[in-house]
Amino acid sequence: MSAKPTNRPSKYQVFLLWSNDTVKECRDVRKFFKEFNKKTAKPDFGVTFEIIDHCFDTDDKGHPGAVPAEDLLAKAKDTLALTIGLCTDDETSLNPYTEAKAQQQLDLVLESAKQNQFHQSTWFVRTHRDNGGDQREEVSGEIHDLLRLPEGLKPNDVCLFGENDKFADVLAENLTKLLSDESRPWIEDQNAAVHAIEAARRQKMDKLASMGIDPWGQRFDNKQSIADIRTLESEITSETTTSDGGREQTLYSGPKVRVAGRIVLMRPTGKLIFINLVDRTGTVQLFLGQAQVGERNWEIAQCLDLGDIIGVDGELKKTKTGELTVFVEELHFLTKTLEAPPEKHKGLTDPEQRQRMRYLDLAYGDGVLDRFVQRTQIVRSVRDTLVGDGYYEIEGPTLHTIAGGAAARPFETFHNALGMPLVMRIALELHLKRLLVGGMERVFELGRVYRNEGISPRHNPEFTMLEVYQAFGNYETMMDLTESIIVNALDAIGSAYKVPFGDKEVDFTPPFQRKCYSDLLAEHAGIDPTNEAEVIACAKKLGLETDGKHADVLRNEIFEETVEDKLVGPVFVIDYPASICPLTKRKTDQPEVAERFELFIQGMELANAYTELNDPDLQEKLFRTQLQGMDEEDSMAKMDTDFVRALRNGMPPAGGLGIGIDRLVMLLTNSATIREIILFPLLRHEAT
C-alpha cells in the first residue's frame, strides 16, 4: 500500500449506516477496520479509522424505526472522510430506507458531512444483480439521485458485490484503491470547498437562465403565510378505498394554496422530492413528484439547493404518515443562493459570527427571528401605550453641542460647514424638557443614544432609549406608567406575567415592590449609611478609591457593589441621595433625599425616573457643583446654559422616566446578552 498523500487527512471517521437485514455485513466491517487499523498504524502510512455506526432499527414488518439522527451526529468530530451504506436489493427497490423518517435521518448525516469537510462517500451495495458495468453505473446514478450529495463533490463510488461474495474482501479491495489513488480530488481547505459549492450553484443558475427563468425571481403576488395555510387543515377531506387485493388506501383532497419561502431541508428520493419550506411564520412540507409536476417543473426542481427561495402553487393534503403537506403543482423559482447555508442542527455557533452575519442567524438560527419579531412587538406596544395615554412622540436632535442629561463619555465629531465640534447625544432628556416649557404637556422619544464607553453583556455603545415627560406629574406618576408599559409589552408578545430569565423567574404582576435606598444599603452592605466613617471604611474594604470623593458618591459605589446583583425584582428603589441626582427635585420634608426611583430586575437597572427639577437657580447651582467633579464621570458634564435659560421661562412640575429598551427586551425574551437583541451590534473589524 502506498504512502499517504500529504494533503490527505491522517484520521478518518467512518459513518456506518445499516439496518437489521445487514447485521452480518456490519459485523464484518467492524472486524475489518479493527484489523485494518493494525496494519495502517505505521509511521510511513499514518492513517487510522474510527468507526461510528448507526443502525436504523426495523420493526416486525421490516420498516426502519425512528432512531434519533442526533445520536449519530453528536459523535461527529473534525472530519467525515468515508460513509459506508449497507444496502440490500429486492425485486422492486434498491434502497431499503424507504420510510420518510429514515430518509430524513440519512439526509441529516449528509448535511453534517458537508459542514465537516466531506472528503469521500462510498456505498457498498449487496445486490442480486450481476456485477456488470452497466449495473454499476445504473446503481451509482440511482443512489446519487436519491442522496443528492453536497455540491462540488464527485458523485458516489458504488461497489457492487454478489450474494456469495465476502464483504470484507470487497471492502478491502476498494478501500485500498481509495487510499492509494492520489488523483482523487481531496478538498485541501475550506476555501476550496466553498469555491466548489459556489461553482456548482452557479452552474444551476446558468441552467435556469438557459430555460428562460430569472434566477433572481420576479414579483410573486397573493401568497399565503405558512401559518395561514396550517389553519386550513380542517378543510382537508379523506376517503378510504380497498384494492382488489384487499389493501386499504386513504386518499386526501384539500384546498388550493400558494406559498413562498426558503428551502431548509431537501429529501430527494428518485423521482420524488420532499422539501421543508420556511417563512417568517413557520415551516411546511412540500411534495414534488415528477409525474405530478410535469417535465419543466421537474427540470427546475433539479436546480434547487438548500437556501434557495421558491414559490409554489399546489393542493394542501396529508401524507400517509399524516403530515400536513403541499402537493406541488406549479414551481416558481424566486432566488438562487450562491453559498451553502449553515448546518441545520449546529447552525452558526460562534457568537461573533452570528452577530456579524445576522442575516444568516435570522434565516437559520433557532428562534432568532421570533426574538426580533418580539422586539418589534415590544417597541410597538411601548409606543401604543404612550400614544394611547395622550403623549406626543417627538424627534430630538442626535448631534448636540453639549453632552448633557447623563454622566457619560460622548462620541465626538466635527461639523465642517459650521466649523464647530459636536457630540453624539448621550441622553434625550434636556431637549424633551424644553418642550414642557413650550406647552407640550406629555412628550416622549424612542431613539438611539451613544456612549463612548465599555462593552459588556449589558452594555452596548449604541442603544435604544425611551424617555417620557409628563407635566403636572411626579416620580410616583412615572411608577404607575412604568408598570403599565411593561405589563402591556408582556401582553403584546403573548407572555404570562411570570417570565423565565436564566435559571430564575421574574414575576411582573403589578404592583412592583418598593424599597428604600438606605435600607438596602444597611441590609446588604451591613453599614449605617448616615455614618460617613462606616461608609469610607466599607469602601476601602471593597477596594474602592476614596480620596477626594463625596460620601454620597461612595455610598452609590458601595450600592453598586453590594446591593444591585441582589435585586431580583422587579423592585423600585426609592429615596436616593439628592447630591448624586442634580436634575431631580428634593423631597420637601427631606431635602437631602431626591424624588427619584430606579427599577431593578435581575440585578439590572431597567428604568430611572425623577420628579424633575424646575427651579432654574437651583439647577444652575447644581450644574456648577457637578462641574467641580465629584468623580471622573461627573467631570465630563458641561454647563447647559440654554437649558437653564429655558427653565427661567417656567417649566411646570413634571415627572420624567427613562427606560432602556434593549434591556427590557432582554428580560422579556430571556436573552442572556444585549447583543442577542440588537440586530447589528458594533463589532471589531473582521480578521482577514
Checking DSSP bridges between strand 11-19 and strand 420-424, what pairing results, if any?
Answer: unpaired
Average pLDDT estimate for 661-666: 96
Residue 299 shares a structural domain with residue 372: no
Which range, 30-39, 68-77, 599-608, has the best average confidence (pLDDT)? 599-608
What residues pair up with 258 in beta bridges, in sequence order?
313
Taking residue 600's Cβ as centre, other Cβ atoms within 10 Å add up to: 25
Residue 304 DSSP SS3? coil
Residue 581 reports pLDDT greater than 70: yes
DSSP string spanning 543-567? Answer: T---TT--HHHHHHHHHHHHTGGG-
Would you say residue 94 lies in a domain?
yes
Average pLDDT estimate for 34-39: 54
Residue 429 shares a structural domain with residue 496: yes
| 191 — pLDDT class (breaks 50, 70, 90) | low
Residue 31 shares a structural domain with residue 141: yes
**Which position has the higher pLDDT, 242 or 588?**
588
Residue 290 shares a structural domain with residue 398: no
Q: What is the pLDDT of residue 258?
A: 98
Please enumerate, by residue number, every residue annotated as part of a binding site for Mg(2+): 598, 605
Distance CA 564, CA 668 (A): 19
Distance CA 555, CA 548 (A): 14
List the single range of 98-107, 156-165, 541-550, 597-606 with lowest mean pLDDT: 98-107
**Which position has the higher pLDDT, 683 or 312?**
312
Q: What is the pLDDT of residue 53?
A: 54
pLDDT digits (tens, 9 = 90+) for 43-69: 433 445 555 554 444 444 443 333 343
What residues pair up with 239 in beta bridges, in sequence order?
251
Closest to 19 measured CA to CA, from 101, 85, 72, 70 = 85
| 247 — pLDDT class (breaks 50, 70, 90) | confident
Which range, 25-39, 564-578, 617-631, has the best average confidence (pLDDT)? 564-578
Residue 382 shares a structural domain with residue 340: no
Q: What is the pLDDT of residue 628?
A: 67
Please enumerate, by residue number, every residue annotated as part of a binding site: 598, 605
Taking residue 92's Cβ as centre, other Cβ atoms within 10 Å add up to: 6
Closest to 293 measured CA to CA, from 320, 328, 259 = 328
pLDDT digits (tens, 9 = 90+) for 597-639: 999 999 999 999 999 999 999 888 877 776 665 444 444 456 7
Would you say residue 576 lies in a domain?
yes
Residue 332 shares a structural domain with residue 393: no
Distance CA 520, CA 498 (A): 24
Distance CA 82, CA 614 (A): 76
**Which position has the higher pLDDT, 123 or 402?**
402
Residue 322 shares a structural domain with residue 442: no
Distance set, CA 381 to CA 121, 133, 373, 485, 657 (Å): 53, 68, 12, 8, 17
| 205 — pLDDT class (breaks 50, 70, 90) | very high
| 656 — pLDDT class (breaks 50, 70, 90) | very high
Task: Give the CATH number for residue 478.
Answer: 3.30.930.10
Q: What is the pLDDT of residue 394?
A: 97
Residue 103 DSSP SS3? helix
Give me the domain span that covers residue 135: 11-188
Over pLDDT 90: what percentage of the chain? 49
pLDDT digits (tens, 9 = 90+) for 504-547: 899 999 999 999 999 999 999 999 988 889 989 999 898 888 88
Q: What is the pLDDT of residue 574?
A: 95
pLDDT digits (tens, 9 = 90+) for 360-379: 999 988 889 999 999 999 99
CA angle 223, 225, 231 (to 5 degrees): 120
Would you say residue 386 lies in a domain?
yes
Residue 343 reports pLDDT greater than 70: yes
Q: Burial letters for 246-262: b for 16+ Cβ neighbours within 10 Å, e otherwise?
A: eeeeeebebeebbbbbb
Q: What is the pLDDT of residue 659?
A: 97
How is residue 190 written as a grid cell? 475550506
**Which position has the higher pLDDT, 354 or 660?**
660
What are phi and psi for residue 548, nearest 5 degrees?
A: 75, 10
Would you say residue 206 lies in a domain?
no
Residue 180 reports pLDDT greater than 70: no
Residue 223 reports pLDDT greater than 90: yes
Residue 182 shares a structural domain with residue 267: no
Q: What is the pLDDT of residue 597?
A: 96
Strand stretches in 633-679, DSSP E: 654-660
List the single range of 152-166, 414-428, 509-523, 642-656 with lowest mean pLDDT: 152-166
**Which position has the higher pLDDT, 200 or 685?**
200
Would you say residue 354 lies in a domain?
no
Indicate the average pLDDT of the chain.
77
| 290 — pLDDT class (breaks 50, 70, 90) | very high
Residue 109 shares a structural domain with residue 231: no
List the single range of 253-257, 343-347, 445-449, 633-637 with lowest mean pLDDT: 633-637
pLDDT digits (tens, 9 = 90+) for 262-283: 999 998 888 999 999 999 999 9
Distance CA 149, CA 172 (A): 24
| Residue that is last in its domain, among 312, 346, 380 | 346
CA angle 111, 284, 327 (to 5 degrees): 105
Domain count, the chain: 3
Q: What is the pLDDT of residue 232?
A: 96
Task: Give the CATH number for residue 268.
Answer: 2.40.50.140
Residue 339 shares a structural domain with residue 375: no
Q: What is the pLDDT of residue 472?
A: 97
List the single range of 11-25, 110-124, 352-366, 551-565 with lowest mean pLDDT: 110-124
Would you say residue 78 lies in a domain?
yes
Task: Give the CATH number for residue 40.
Answer: 3.40.50
* H/E stretch holding 600: strand 593-601
**Which position has the higher pLDDT, 497 or 628?**
497
**Which position has the higher pLDDT, 664 or 565?**
664
Q: Which residues, at least 6 apart from 283, have a Cβ–Cβ distance to it below 8 Å?
A: 226, 264, 276, 277
Q: What is the pLDDT of residue 261?
A: 97
Residue 379 shares a structural domain with residue 502: yes
pLDDT digits (tens, 9 = 90+) for 439-486: 999 999 999 999 998 888 888 999 999 999 999 999 999 999 999 999
Would you say residue 681 lies in a domain?
no
Distance CA 441, CA 470 (A): 6
Residue 80 reports pLDDT greater than 60: no
Closest to 458 measured CA to CA, from 675, 194, 163 = 675
Q: Inter-axis angle of helices 368-388 and 475-492, to 10 degrees?
A: 140
Residue 89 shares a structural domain with residue 170: yes
What are phi and psi for residue 142, nearest 5 degrees?
A: -65, -45
**Which position has the higher pLDDT, 425 or 78?**
425
Would you say residue 177 lies in a domain?
yes
